[in-house]
Amino acid sequence: MSGFTHLDDDGNAVMVDVSAKPETERIATARGSVIMAPETMELIVAGQVKKGDVLSVAQLAGIMGAKRTPDLVPLCHPLNLTSVKVDLICDPDRHAVDITACCKLTGQTGVEMEALTAVSVAALTVYDMCKSVDREMRISDIRLVQKSGGKSGTFEAS
């Protein structure tokens, strides 16, 4: 046995069989940031980005990203998400858009990848909408900050 859940004894990629796992409420929260020039932050806050309302579009993109995770990450299970929340907050002091995504369901496998994908897609959307004025933006610190449910219990990032 390889020790990796997504590899069989012969080293072939497999989707983990979760059929014997009990259904539990599962919640995962991820965060990340897009760091930018002060002028870019000013445009977002003033609603003057030519492509439109950056925060609203990125919020919708993040929700859509969570729903499409199994299409993007090859061995993820298609999940029946019951809630996806994506929040984007401007921090003018850091010249950053901070993104938080929380995904929830009752099921046999966790929603960490959906929360991480939601943050990633929202961050990419912020970049895409603002790249004409700031190509030096940095997508930063995308990470899982909390998860609950399932056999492994609760995780809180330090």
Question: Which of 17, 53, 71, 128 is flagged as catalytic?
Answer: 128
Tell me which residue of 58, 60, 59, 150 sits closest to 105, measured CA to CA.
Answer: 150
- What letter represents residue 52's amino acid? G
Distance (Å, rounded) from C-alpha 129 to C-alpha 134? 10
How buried is residue 24: exposed, middle or buried, by Cβ count under 10 Å (0-12/13-18/19+)?
middle
Pull the structure tokens for residue 111. Answer: 């929603």
Give the total residue count for the chain.
158
Distance (Å, rounded) from C-alpha 104 to C-alpha 79? 10
Q: Is 128 a catalytic residue?
A: yes
Active site residues: 128
